[in-house]
């Protein structure tokens, strides 16, 4: 039983990260209809940026805050100057896909060129206990209802909850959110009522970049270091989470992230043979969902009455 609980807790911590990145994927998918291949590397670049700020002496929490804001600006700039010129009615969606692929390669290379090609120690923005030979320290543990919970799990879950709350308020309670949903639902009509659809797309990219930056910084802190391969794996799990939940559903992204991560933790924990090939789990889940429910658990088939 203890093993089970500890595996589930590990899963929940990882799930919060996958869910954050999956949310970022969903945000861009809803407005462009495309999966942002560069999402992981955008987050990687941001994470190196956050590390650089801490290596210059800034404490980790303000470093992450600055990084999130800077990443949102960068996300908007990417949409405006790289995506928008190749996107639009009458142009092939492949154009955008290829630009995303280019971004994927370029951002990974740039991160290594500008910041570091090595794994760099990422300070933890949650309580730690010092351990010899480890610059970042180990995660502090607290007991909750008899279970030993790592502070990293708590921090990752809190971050996810705050993200969900902010997104909910933005989309459901504000005029900007209503406009964002309108552009996702029907871009042509959105323009006819006077919404500048391009501005909304820019905002979508900004939000996605910000979410990615936060997720990247936190997952690096959890894993103690940021390295050039950090986000590649996370992105695969996030894709699985989004496919599972439905690419157009924010709720699906969160639920999908949790299912993928908990399933991964449990199978790897109980089935020794799988521990070397944990990646098989998300792929098996993607395959299963696509077979049974192609729109994902929470995805909607577009049904319109005429």
Partner 1 sequence: MLRLEGVTGGYGPVTVLRDIDLTVSEGEVVVVLGANGAGKTTMLRAITGEIATQGSLSFEGAALPRNPENVARAGIAHVPQGRGTFADLTTEENLRLGAVLRSDGDVRRDIDHWLEVFPRLGDRREQAAGSMSGGEQQMLAIARAMMLRPRLLLLDEPSLGLAPLITRDLFERLGALNRDEGLTVLVVEQNANLALEIGHRGYVLETGQIVASGPSHQLRDDDAIRKAYLGF
Stretch that binds partner 1, among 32-40, 186-194, 254-262, 263-271 (CB under 8 A): 186-194
Where does this chain touch partner 1 (CB under 8 A) — which range of 6-14, 18-26, 179-187, 286-294?
179-187
Question: Which region, judged by CB under 8 A, interacts with partner 1, from 120-128, 135-143, 161-169, 180-188?
Answer: 180-188
User: Smallest gap, in angstroms, from Cβ of residue 200 to partner 1?
Assistant: 11
Q: Is 303 in the site for partner 1 (CB under 8 A)?
A: yes
Residues numbered 158 to 177 that lie near partner 1 (CB under 8 A) are 175
- In the window 215-254, what residues touch partner 1 (CB under 8 A)? none
β-pairing verdict for 141-144 and 120-121? unpaired
Would you count residue 90 as binding partner 1 (CB under 8 A)? yes
Kindly state whether residue 304 participates in binding partner 1, applying the rule CB under 8 A.
yes
Nearer to partner 1, 138 or 191 (CB): 191
Q: Does 145 bind partner 1 (CB under 8 A)?
A: no
Cα angle 137, 56, 70; round to 5: 100
DSSP-assigned states of every residue in 181-195: HHHHH-HHHHHHTT-
Footprint of partner 1 on 282-301 (CB under 8 A): 300
**Span from 44-52, 62-70, 95-103, 178-186 in contact with partner 1 (CB under 8 A):** 178-186
**Helix, strand or coil for residue 119?**
coil
Q: Does 186 bind partner 1 (CB under 8 A)?
A: yes
Whether 21 contacts 233, CB under 8 Å: no
By beta-carbon proximity to partner 1, the closer residue of 13 and 204 is: 204
Residue 121 phi, psi dihedral angles, 5° rounding:
-70, 125
Q: Which of 196, 283, 287, 290 binds partner 1 (CB under 8 A)?
A: 196
- Site stretch for partner 1 (CB under 8 A), options 7-15, 70-78, 126-134, 195-203: 195-203
Task: State the minimum distance, in angstroms, from the CB of residue 207 to partner 1.
Answer: 19
| CA distances from residue 210 to 57, 91, 260, 266, 279 in whole angstroms, order as listed | 22, 28, 23, 30, 26
Strand partners, 139: 128
Cβ(227)–Cβ(118) under 8 Å?
yes
Smallest distance, partner 1 to C-beta of residue 303, A: 7
Dihedral over Cα of 201, 204, 210, 213: its sign: negative
With CB under 8 A as the contact rule, the residue among 141, 182, 274, 279 that binds partner 1 is: 182
Q: CB of 2 within 8 A of CB of 143? A: no
Which one of residues 27, 190, 219, 231 is an interface residue with partner 1 (CB under 8 A)?
190
DSSP one-letter string for 233-256: HHHHHHHHHHHHH-TT-HHHHHHH
Total binding residues toward partner 1, as defined by CB under 8 A: 25
**Is the CB of 117 or the CB of 174 nearer to partner 1?**
174
Chain position carrying tokens 């790592």: 150
Q: Which of 185, 232, 277, 290 binds partner 1 (CB under 8 A)?
A: 185
Distance CA 243, CA 257 (A): 10
Quick check: 39 and 235 in contact, CB under 8 A?
A: yes
Cβ(54)–Cβ(60) below 8 Å: yes
Shortest Å, Cβ 302 to partner 1 = 7
Give yes or no for a contact between 290 and 243, defined as CB atoms under 8 angstroms apart: yes
Give the residues lining the site for partner 1 (CB under 8 A): 90, 175, 178-179, 181-182, 184-186, 188-197, 300, 302-306
């Amino acid at each position: 039983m203890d093993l089970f609980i500890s595996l589930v807790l590990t899963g929940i911590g990882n799930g919060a990260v996958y869910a954050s990145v999956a949310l970022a994927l969903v945000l861009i998918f809803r407005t462009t209809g495309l999966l942002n291949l560069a999402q992981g590397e955008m987050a990687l670049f941001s994470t190196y940026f956050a590390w650089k700020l801490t290596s210059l002496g800034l404490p980790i929490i303000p470093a992450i805050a600055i990084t999130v804001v800077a990443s949102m600006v960068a996300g908007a700039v990417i949409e405006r100057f790289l995506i928008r010129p190749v996107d639009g009615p009458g142009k092939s969606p492949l154009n955008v896909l290829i630009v995303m692929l280019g971004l994927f390669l370029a951002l990974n290379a740039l991160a290594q060129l500008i910041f570091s090609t090595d794994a760099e120690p990422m300070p933890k923005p949650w309580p730690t206990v010092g351990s010899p030979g480890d610059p970042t320290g180990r995660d502090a543990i607290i007991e909750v209802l008899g279970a030993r919970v790592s502070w990293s799990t708590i921090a990752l879950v809190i971050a996810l909850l705050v993200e969900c709350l902010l997104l909910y308020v933005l989309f459901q309670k504000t005029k900007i959110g209503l406009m964002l949903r309108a552009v996702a639902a029907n871009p042509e009509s959105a323009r006819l009522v006077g919404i500048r659809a391009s501005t909304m797309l820019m905002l979508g990219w900004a939000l996605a970049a910000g979410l990615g930056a936060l997720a990247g910084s936190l997952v690096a802190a959890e894993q103690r270091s940021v390295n050039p391969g950090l986000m590649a794996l996370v992105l695969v799990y996030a894709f699985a989470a989004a496919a599972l939940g439905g690419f157009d559903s924010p709720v699906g992204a969160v639920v999908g992230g949790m299912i993928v991560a908990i399933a991964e933790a449990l199978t790897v924990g109980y089935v020794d043979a799988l521990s070397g090939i944990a990646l098989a789990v998300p792929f098996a889940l993607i395959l299963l969902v696509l077979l049974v429910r192609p729109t994902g658990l929470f995805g909607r088939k577009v049904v319109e009455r005429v």
